[in-house]
Structure 1
Amino acid sequence: MKKIIVALLLFAGSFAAEAQELVWETNVTKAMAISTETKKPLLLFFTGSDWCGWCIRLQKEVLKTPEFAAWAKENVVLVELDYPRKVPQTEDIKKQNTELQMAFGIQGFPTIILANATTKEGKVNFEGIGSTGYVAGGPTAWLAVANGFLKK
């Protein structure tokens, strides 16, 4: 019986480890380079990580699940654009995030934008693929929305 319990704990732990392996870039320039190299679109997650209740709920119910982790590794380059109230950020990150918030017209959190990015003559152009936020129903429901954007 102990062996079964240990095996189940190890199995469950492997899913938790997989979800934690995701890399969320905070530098959009670096994320764009990865996107170009991998030919995957950007998933831009606009969040108030330490104060926005819906952002925290989206993280818990979707973004930190094994289902999302597996999907993200195959389909997108993850970018977190955070607007915290208590966690300090560098001035460069604050400036970058503010510029992207204005460029995309973000008015509420959480907002997730799927986009392709190109640089031409030193200027960045974003081509929006789709936009969503919190979707009730866990990872299955959320991924159905995201996959709908990617299939277009």
Structure 2
Amino acid sequence: MQLLLFIFFNSFLFSNGSWETDFNKAQQSAKTEHKLILVNFSGSDWCGPCIRMHKDIFDGNSFTQYATDHLVLVNADFPRLKKHELSKDQQKKNDELADKYNKDGIFPLTVLLDPNGKVLKEWQGLPPISSEEFTTEVKSIVDANN
């Protein structure tokens, strides 16, 4: 029973402000919903700053609440452990996205894009700010582009 509650609770949590893994779908949603796209390049099982960024910034209440209504989120993950290996199709999509927006292979790299894919802002590495400060920075860019 506890396992079922855990699964239900986590699926509910991630349904709000959830991260898309297909950039083309995200871009279509952004155009339809008139939202900006936030892409995060991450190494979820080997990159300490990437893990901290998700925990300290993206999982923060202020970011989660804001992102749900104003952003389309894309997670381009590059795990190294075999147990976290992506499907060949997903790996290809992530590689193509990195070829376009993360040519230098920086982790973490977060890029804010307009619905057409134009880069509006880029954060290299883990920003030395709180989730609230990051959200405020993103909000100012969103507001300037509406």
Short-chain TM bin: 0.7 to 0.9
Number of residue-to-residue matches in the alignment: 130
Could you tell me the percent identity over the aligned residues?
26
**Structure 1 residues 2-151: aligned runs within 5 Å:** 21-86=16-81, 87-104=84-101, 105-118=103-116, 126-133=117-124, 134-151=126-143
Whose Rg is larger? 1
> Are 1:19 and 1:65, in contact at CA under 8 Å, matched by a contact in 2?
no
Q: Deviations over 1:16-43 (max 9, x none)?
A: x757732110011111121111110111
2:122 aligned counterpart, secondary structure = strand
Q: For residues 104 and 30 of structure 2, what CA distance do their matches in structure 1 show? A: 22
Rate the CA distance shift 1:109–1:18 in 2: closer, same or farther, 3 A: same
Shift of 1:142: 1.4
Which protein has greater RCO, CA pairs closer than 8 Å, 6+ apart? 2
**TM-score normalised per structure 1:** 0.76
**TM-score normalised per structure 2:** 0.79
Where do 5+ consecutive residues of structure 2 fail to align? 1-11
> Are 1:18 and 1:66, in contact at CA under 8 Å, matched by a contact in 2?
no
Q: Deviations over 1:18-74 (max 9, x none)?
A: 577321100111111211111101110110011100011111111111111111012
Where do 5+ consecutive residues of structure 1 fail to align? 1-16, 119-125
Over the residues paired in the alignment, what is the CA RMSD in angstroms? 2.0
> Are 1:135 and 1:141, in contact at CA under 8 Å, matched by a contact in 2?
no
Amino acid of the structure 1 residue aligned with 2:85: P
Which segments of structure 1 move beyond 6 Å, counting only runs of 4 or more? none
2:86 aligned counterpart, secondary structure = coil
